[in-house]
Amino acid sequence: MARASVVTLITDFGWQDAYVGQLKGRLVQTCPQALPVDLSHDIPAWDIAAAGRVLAASWHFFPAATVHLAVVDPGVGSARRLVAASGQGHFFAAPDNGLLTQLLADGVLEAAHEILMPPGQHISPTFHGRDILAPAAGRLAAGARPGELGPALPLHSLIRLPAPSVSARNAAGITGTVLSIDRFGNVRTSFHPHRDRIDTSLLYSIVLCNIVVNLRVRCYSEAPKGAYCFLVDSDGYLEVAINQGNAAQNIPCKPGDPLHLQFKTRA
């Protein structure tokens, strides 16, 4: 069997309604051999940055020529542009609203084109994801070049979100924020040691809501069952967890809350 044309999906549509399914309909209508793969549909409503982080953390697990379609689109129907970008052998389709910020920062993108509205079709002014982006992703999955979708856009013209606030590092450490909380109650921080050049072996503790977590582990099971620990998670972020327990149910924190990294002092 020939290779399927994988199309990943990231949206804030949720699972309850038929929005995701209808979008997939337009996708397979345009590209019959497309294989849709859901990355997340539980992005918090209108949280462009969260969608961008999932995209940047996930695209590289897929085969070359995968099309990554991300739709968090509070400006749908307005004049904001839609963009088809490419880089590292992958394709990306999304609104030009900052969703590609992290990919741009990571140097993944090499070129971008605007996606023009196809003429003569019914386009819902509230669902360009289904009526414009999905057919565009389908065309890419079927082998079209991004340039067939519209004119080239310079990468520097794409909208970028402000970087998350991180304090300057001083003797006392660095202050960051809670990024997100996963299904297990693990608390992901805004620190990504590889990107942020943090040597985790020099980390002494993470302080979050007055709770000091200072057990550093490689994997959950290195901590005693029920104990707080911190580790680098499977997407490369620094995370606070409880082995076989729910950290977020025990630490009353939410995305955006401040947290503090403390480093070992050298004698």
In whole angstroms, how close is the CB of 118 to a copy of itself at the nearest point? 15
Q: Are 149 and 116 in contact (CB under 8 A)?
A: yes
Alpha carbon distance 119, 123 (integer Å): 9
Residue 74 engages a copy of itself in binding (rule: CB under 8 A) = yes
* Separation between Cα atoms, residue 246 and residue 187, nearest integer Å: 9
For residue 24, CA distances in Å to 47, 78, 99, 108, 242 come to: 22, 23, 20, 26, 37
Span 230-249, contacts to a copy of itself by CB under 8 A: 231, 233-235, 243-244, 246
Quick one: 111 or 142, whose CB is closer to a copy of itself?
Answer: 142
- Does residue number 92 form part of the binding site for a copy of itself (CB under 8 A)? no
* Torsion of the alpha carbons at 103, 106, 108 and 112, rounded to the nearest 10: 50
Nearest CB to a copy of itself, comparing residues 12 and 96: 12
Binding residue (CB under 8 A) for a copy of itself from 167, 222, 252, 256: 222
Applying CB under 8 A, among 32, 164, 224, 226 the residue interacting with a copy of itself is 32
Q: Is 91 in the site for a copy of itself (CB under 8 A)?
A: no
Q: Which of 4, 111, 36, 47 is nearest to 255 (CA)?
A: 47
- Interface with a copy of itself, residue 106, by CB under 8 A: no
| Residue of 76, 82, 93, 208 that binds a copy of itself (CB under 8 A) | 76
Instruction: Return the amino acid letter for 117.
Output: M
Task: Kindly list the residues in this chain that would bind a copy of itself in the complex (CB under 8 A).
Answer: 1-4, 6, 8, 10, 12-22, 24-26, 28-29, 32-33, 35-42, 45-46, 54, 57-58, 61-63, 66, 74-78, 124-127, 130, 182-184, 218-222, 231, 233-235, 243-244, 246
